[in-house]
Structure 1
Amino acid sequence: MINTKLIPRTAQAYETPMLIKHLLAQSLKYEPQREIIYRDLFRMTYVDFNRRVRQLANVLTNLGVGPGDTVAVFDWDSHRYLECFFGVTSLGAILHTINVRLSPAQILYTMNHAEDKIVLIHEDFLPILNGIKSQLTTVNRFVLISDKVYTDSSAVTIPDGFDGEYEGLLAEASDQYDFPDFDENTWATTFYTTGTTGHPKGVYFSHRQLFMHTMGLLSYVVGYEAVPFRSATDVYMPITPMFHVHAWGFPFLATMMSVKQVYPGRYEPEMLLRLLLKEGVTLSHCVPTILNMLVSSPVAKQVDLSRWKVIIGGSALTKGLARAALDLNISVYAGYGMSETAPVLTITYLNDQEKPLPINEQVDLRTRAGRIAPFVELRLVDDDGNPVPHDGQSLGEVVVHAPWLTQGYYKEPDRSAELWRDGWMHTGDVATITPDNWLQIADRTKDVIKTGGEWISSLEIEDLLSQAAGVAEAAVVGLPDDKWGERPHALIVLKPGAAENVTTDQIKAGLLDKVQRGELNKWYVPDRIVFVPEIPKTSVGKIDKKKIRSEMKDMILGLSA
C-alpha cells in the first residue's frame, strides 16, 4: 500500500456525487429549446423533456416504485426510453432494459432473475408478455405504451390488470420532483447478455460508471474529435436498440450536451432514411447489418449523405461495407466494446498523419477495431496471463481496466470471478495492438457467433442438435454472411442406421418448432445442416472448429448456395 496524504474533510463541505441526474441537469443550461423527436409522431424541447422526466418519476413513485426497485421496459428506440434512462435511475431505482430479441423463455428468466417490480411495455410486445405473465414472480404493476395516443387516442385499449397508458399517466402527474442525492455507486441499470451456454447473464452498472463512461465519450468524440460531435451542428439518431448497452452510451452524452436527438422507433428503412434527411441527422451508430440495409437502398444513391457519420460495432466492419458507405460519402468508423464494458473501449481515430491518406488506405484503418479510448487501459495476455507485446503482430487475449466496467454478473459470483480473474476484465477476444494503440480483433476465444448484431452460442445449438433423434454428434460454427455478418452452420454425424430415417429438414423443423413455442430464438436455427461421416478433432479429442472454418467452409457454403 502506497503511503499517501489525504485531503482533510470538512463536515460542512458538499461532495458532488457522480449521478445521472447531474447529466440531465446540464441539458437545460445552454440550449434548452433544442428538440427531441420521435419518428413523425412527437416533438419536444429539452424543457419539455425535463418536465416529462419529473412526471415519470412521480408516476413511478405513485405506483410504489422506490429506491432499489427494478423497472422493466419493453419499447422501440423512443423518447420514452430516453425518459426512462433518466427518470427511473434518478429515483434510485434500477432500469432493466429488456432485450426483446430473446426468446420468451429467456425473457421470463431475465425478468424473474432481475426481480422486476413494474413493467412499461409497448403494445407491440404484448403477445410476449401474455405468454409469460402468469409465470412472473415479482412483477405487480403494468403500464401500457402506445403510439396510437399521437394519432387516435380513442383506439388505445388498456389491457386488464394494467394501471394505465404511459402518456395518460404522465399528463395526470405533477411536474415537480426533486431528485435526491445518494451514493454514486448505487446500482442504476441492468440488462442481460447471452453468448455462452446456460441462462443469459445479468450485467449491471452504477451511476458512477455510467457518468464516467459519458465523460470518456465526451473527451474522445468531442475533445479529441475521434468522431466529431458538436452540440451546435450535430443531430443524433441511434440505430442501435436502446436495450443494447444503453444504446452504446450516446443518449447520455447527447442529452448532457443538449444535442438535437431523433428516435426512429421500429427500424424500417424508409422511416430511417426519411428521418435522416428531414431532420438532418449527422451521427448514428449501428451494427453492420443495418448499415448494409441502408446503403443497399435505392434511395440512398439518390440523396446527399455527406454529413452522416456512422459508428459500426457489434460485429466487424468489413472493407466491402466500408467502401460502399464511403462511396456514398458516408463517414464510417469502427468501435469495439462489450456488454460488460458499458461499452466503449475503442473507436476509430485518424491522427494528423492519417487523415490526408487516400481512401483506400483509410479503409484499412477504419475497419480496424479502433484506437484505445481515453481512460481505457487495454493489454494482451497469453493463456498463462503473461503480457503479450503491443507490436501489431503478436496475438493475445484482450484484458481491460477502465472506470466504467461492470463489477460482475448479478447473482453469479463464480462467473464474476472468472470475468475478473487476475484483477483484469477478460474479454474473450483475441487481438493485436499496434505501438500506436490500434486494436485489431483476430478471433474469439469462445465460439460465439455474431449474427445481425446478436450473440449466440454454438455450444447451445450443438446441445439442441444432439437431442434430435438419430444424431450422434454435432458441431456448429459461424461462417461469414453478407447480410447478417455471420450465420451458424452445423455438421452432424448420425447414429448407425439413422441415415434412412433422418433428414436435415426434419432436424431443422424440430428447431423451428421450438422457435414457435417460444423456447428458442430464431437466430439459433442454422442456415445449413450437413451430414458428415466424422467431425474434425484436435489431438486431445476436442472439436477442431478452426479446421472446420478453414478447410470445410467452402464445402458448407457451397452446399448452402
Structure 2
Amino acid sequence: MITTKLIPRTPEAVEPPLLIKTLLAQSLRYEPHREIVYRDLFRMNYVEFNKRVRRLANLLTKLGVKPGDTVAVLDWDSHRYLECFFGVTSMGAVLHTVNVRLSPAQILYTMNHAQDKVVLIHEDFLPILTAINEQLTTVETYVILSDNVYTNLNATAQLPAGFSCEYEAGLRTESDEYDFPDFDENTWATTFYTTGTTGNPKGVYFSHRQLFMHTMGLSTFVCGYQAVPFTSVADVYMPITPMFHVHAWGFPFLATMLSAKQVYPGRYEPEILLKLLLTEGVTLSHCVPTILTMLVNSPVAKQVDLSRWKVIVGGSALTKGLAKAALDLGIQVYQGYGMSETAPIMTLTQLNDSERPLPIDEQVDYRTRTGRVAPFVDIRLMDDDGNFVPHDGHSLGEVVTRGYWMTQGYYEDPERSKDLWKGGWLHTGDVASMTPDYWLLIADRTKDVIKTGGEWVSSLDIENLISQLDGVGEVAVVGLPDERWGERPNALIVQKPGFDLTTDGIRQTLHERIESGHLNKWYLPDHILFVTEIPKTSVGKIDKKRIRSEMKDQILSA
C-alpha cells in the first residue's frame, strides 16, 4: 500500500453523512409544486409528500419501530410505496420490499428471514397473509393499505385481527413534524430477496451510502451523459417495473431528488398504463420486455402518439424485433443492464456524437446492445482461470464488476456471499464481450449458453434473429441435451394475432439466412414449438429453467 498525505482534520468541521434523507430534502428546493400521482385516485405536490413522509415516520414510531427494525411492504406501485422508500429508511429502520409474486411459502421465508416487525400490506394481498400468518415469527402488527379510501372519502377499511390501522387514517392522526436524525451512512437501509435456481431466496441489502451513490451515478449517466437523451427535471416519470424489484431500478430516488413529476400506476393493466401515459404526459419509464410487448401489441397503442415516451428495457434482453416494433410506434427504446446485487445499474444505452445522428434503423444495433458501462462502475471480463479477457469486442468472459453501490453479500449466507465476491470482484454469471469504447455485449447467462458441437452458441443471438421475423410476438431459445452434439438449441414462439406461422415456414426462412451466409448452421433450432405464453419468473423475466424442463418433457413425449 502506498503512503499518502492525508488532509488535516479540523475538530469543529462537519462532514455530513450520505443519507437518503438528503435526497428527500432536495425535492423542496427547486420544484416543490410538481405532482406525484397515483392512478386516477390521488395526487399531491412535494410539499404534501414531505409532510406525509414525516407523518409515516411518526406513525411507525407509535407502532414501536426503532432504528434497526425491519418494516415490510406488500403493495402495488404507489405513492405509499414511495413514502416508505424515504420515511422508513430516513428514521434508521430497514425497508423490506416484499416480492408479492413469490409463492406464499417463499414470502413466508423472506419475511421471517428478514425479521419483519411491522407490515404494510395492500388489501389485495390479504389472502397471502391469511395463508402464512400463523407461521410468521417476528411480526408484531400490520397496517392495511386500501384504495377504497380514495374513491370514498368517508370509507374506512375493515381491520382484520392483528391490524393497527388503515394507512391514510393512521397518517391523519400524526404530526407532519419529524426531525430525521443523522447516523452512519453505512447504516442498513433496504433489503429484498432474489430467487435463484436452487435453495431459498437470497437476501441482498444496501446501505444509505450505496443508494445515495447509486442515485448520483444514475443522475450523472442519464442527465449528464444523456444515456437516455434529454432526461431532465422536465420529464414525467412512471415506473412499469415493480417497486419491490431493486428499488424500481433506483429511479424513484432520482425522480424525487430532482422533484420531477411522478406517476404511479398501481397494478399493471394495459388500459390504465396507456391512459396515464397520455393524460399525465409521461415521458420516461422502464420495464421488462414482457410489459413492453404487451403495450406494443395493444390496439390502443397504434391509435395514439407515443413519440415523447422514452423506455428503458432491462431484466431480459431487448430483441431487435421488439425494438423495431416499439420504434415504429414512435417509442424511444433503450437497453439497461444490472442485477439485484448491483442496486442495479451497471450499463445503459448511451449514443455518442458519432452514433446519435445515425438513421433510426441503424441505431437499432446500438439500442439493443447491453449498454455502455455506467459512470463509477468498473466492469471486466474474466475467464475460468481468473484471468482478465481483452476488451476487443470479440473475446468472451464472465462479467465481473466493482462499484460504489454493489451489495456486500447475501444476508446470513456467508458461503454464497464469498462465491459472489470471489477474488475481490462481484461475479454476475453473465458471459459477454466488450468493445474498446465500453459497449458491453452480453452473449448469455453462463447457464444459458448452448454448447453444441464444440461451439458456444448464444441463445440471445438466436432470439434476436427469430424476433425479427414477421408475425413473431415473443421468442425464447434454450439448449437441451443431445447425444451427438452435447446440446442443441430449441425455440418457443408466441405469434402475433392475425398470423398463421408454421414450423416449416420459420425453418425455411432461417435456412435462407444460412445459405446467404447471415446465419451459422449451429443456430438453427432442432425443435420449434408454438405456445400462447412463454413462462416468466416473478419479476417478468423469461424463465429458462422452467422452459428447459417443460420443453424436454414435451419433446420426449412427442
Contact kept? 1:528, 1:556, Cα under 8 Å: no
1:360 Cα shift? 2.1
Query: What is the match of residue 245 of structure 1?
Result: 246
Alignment partner, residue 279 of structure 1: 280
Please state how far the C-alpha of 1:156 moved relative to its aligned partner: 2.2
Contact 1:66 1:93 in 2 (8 A): yes
Matches within 5 A, 1:486-505: none
How many Å apart are 1:51 and its aligned residue?
A: 0.2
Question: Are 1:319 and 2:317 matched, yes or no?
Answer: no
Distance (whole Å) between structure 1 residues aligned to residue 267 and residue 489 of structure 2: 30
Q: Secondary structure at the match of 1:258?
A: coil
Aligned to 2:176: 175
Q: Which amino acid aligns with 2:237?
A: Y
**TM-score, structure 1 length as denominator?**
0.82
Q: Does 1:160 align with 2:161?
A: yes
Structure 1 partner of 2:111: 111
Partner of 2:86: 86
Partner of 1:52: 52
Q: 1:78 to 1:524 in 2, by over 3 A?
A: farther
**AA matched with 1:36:** I
Alpha-carbon offset, residue 9 of structure 1: 1.6
- Aligned-partner SS, 2:442: strand
CA deviation profile, 1:311-365 (whole Å, cap 9, x unmatched): 0000000000000000011100000000000000000001111111122221111
Residue in 1 that maps onto 2:139: 139
The whole-number CA distance in structure 2 between the counterparts of 1:478 and 1:146 is: 45
Equivalent position of 2:100 in the other structure: 100
How far does residue 7 in structure 1 lie from its aligned partner after superposition? 1.3
| 1:47-90, Cα deviation, whole Å (9 max, x unpaired) | 00000000000000000001100000000000000000000000
Work out whether 1:412 is the aligned partner of 2:413.
yes
Amino acid paired to 1:323: K
Listed one character per residue, the Cα deviations across residues 391-414 of structure 1 (whole Å, up to 9, x for unaligned) are: 100000000011000000000011
| Equivalence map 1:259-338=2 (5 Å) | 259-338=260-339
Question: CA deviation digits over 1:236-279, x for unaligned, max 9?
Answer: 00000000000000000000000000000000000000000000
Is the Cα–Cα contact under 8 Å of residues 447 and 477 in structure 1 kept in the other structure? no
* AA of the residue aligned to 1:156: A
Closer/same/farther in 2, CA of residues 482 and 361 from structure 1, 3 Å limit: farther
After superposition, the CA RMSD in angstroms is 2.8
Change (3 A) 1:422 1:142: same
2:156 touches 2:166 (CA, 8 Å); kept in 1? no
Q: Is the 8 A contact 2:310 2:333 kept in 1?
A: yes
Query: How far is 1:154 from its partner?
Result: 2.7
How far the C-alpha of 1:301 sits from its partner, in A, is 0.6
How far apart, in 2, do the equivalents of 1:531 and 1:336 lie? 30
CA distance in 1, matches of 2:304, 2:430: 38
Counterpart-to-counterpart distance in 2, 1:149 and 1:59: 18
Counting aligned pairs with the same residue, the percent is: 73
Q: CA offsets, 1:132-163, max 9 Å, x none?
A: 00000101110000000001243621111100
Partner residue of 1:488? none
Q: Are positions 1:191 and 2:212 aligned together?
A: no
Q: Distance in 2 between matches of 1:337 and 1:207?
A: 19
1:470 counterpart residue number: none
Output the CA distance in 2 between the equivalents of 1:192 and 1:332: 28
Native 8 Å contact 1:335 1:344 kept in 2: yes
Is residue 231–residue 258 contact of structure 1 (8 Å, CA) maintained in 2?
Answer: no
Distance 1:119 1:478 in 2: 44
2: CA distance, partners of 1:388 / 1:476: 27
State how far apart, in whole Å, the 2-side matches of 1:235 and 1:251 are. 12
Matched position secondary structure for 2:182 = coil
Q: Which residue of 2 aligns with 1:150?
A: 150
Deviation >2 Å, runs of 4+? 152-156, 228-233, 446-450, 475-484, 522-532, 555-559
Question: Counterparts of 1:530 and 1:330 in 2: how far apart (Å)?
Answer: 34
What is the Cα deviation at residue 231 of structure 1? 4.0
Q: Secondary structure at the match of 2:164?
A: coil
SS in 2 for 1:154: coil
Q: Which amino acid aligns with 1:337?
A: G
Show the counterpart of 2:2: 2
What is the number of equivalent residue pairs in this alignment? Answer: 483
Cα separation, 1, equivalents of 2:374 and 2:52? 34
Report the AA paired with residue 116 of structure 2: D
Q: Is the 8 A contact 2:347 2:374 kept in 1?
A: yes
Asked if 1:11 corresponds to 2:11, the answer is yes
Given residue 27 of structure 2, which amino acid in structure 1 is its aligned partner? Answer: S
Tell me the CA shift for residue 291 of structure 1. 0.5
- How much has 1:529 moved relative to structure 2? 3.9
**Contact 2:197–2:545 under 8 Å retained in 1:** no
Residue number in structure 2 paired with 1:200: 201
* Separation in structure 2 between the aligned mates of residue 154 and residue 47 of structure 1, nearest angstrom: 25
Q: Is the 8 A contact 2:223 2:231 kept in 1?
A: yes
CA drift at 1:479: 5.0
Distance 1:96 1:346 in 2: 25
Report the counterpart of residue 210 of structure 1 in structure 2: 211
How far apart are the structure 1 equivalents of 2:378 and 2:97? 28
Contact map agreement 1:430 1:445 (CA 8 A) in 2 = yes
Contact 1:116–1:139 (CA<8 Å) still a contact in 2? yes
Aligned twin of 1:24: 24
Q: Which amino acid aligns with 2:34?
A: R
Cα 1:86–1:557 shift into 2, 3 Å: farther
Contact 2:188/2:207 (8 A) holds in 1:
yes
Unaligned runs of 5+ in 2: 450-458, 461-477, 482-486, 497-534, 536-542
Contact 1:46/1:258 (CA < 8 Å) preserved in 2?
Answer: yes
Aligned amino acid, residue 398 of structure 1: V
Mapped partners of 2:279, 2:552: distance in 1:
52
Offset, 1:233: 2.2
Q: How does 1:417-428 map to 2 (within 5 A)?
A: 417-428=418-429
C-alpha separation in 1, matches of 2:117 and 2:495: 38
Question: CA separation in 2, counterparts of 1:526 and 1:32?
Answer: 48
CA deviation map 1:146-192 (0-9, x unaligned) = 00000124362111110010000001011100000000000000000
Q: Does 1:359 align with 2:363?
A: no
Task: Check conservation: 2:233, 2:258, Cα contact below 8 A.
Answer: no
SS in 1 for 2:165: coil
What's the counterpart of residue 63 of structure 1? Answer: 63
Partner of 2:369: 368
Deviation at 1:523, TM superposition (A): 9.9
* Distance 1:361-1:476 versus aligned 2 partners, 3 A rule: closer
Q: Secondary structure at the match of 2:68?
A: coil
Identify if the C-alpha distance between structure 1 residues 338 and 328 changes in structure 2 by more than 3 Å, giving closer, same or farther.
same
* Letter in structure 2 aligned against 1:423: G
* 1:476 shift after superposition: 13
For residues 408 and 227 of structure 1, do their structure 2 counterparts lie closer, same or farther at Cα, with a shift above 3 Å needed?
Answer: same
The SS at the match of 1:164 is: strand
- Paired residue secondary structure (2:376): coil
SS at match of 2:163: coil
SS of equivalent residue, structure 1 residue 185: coil
Q: CA 1:119 to 1:481, structure 2 compared with 1: closer, same or farther past 3 Å?
A: farther
What secondary structure sits across from 2:71 in the alignment? strand
Structure 1 distance, partners of 2:170, 2:488, is 48
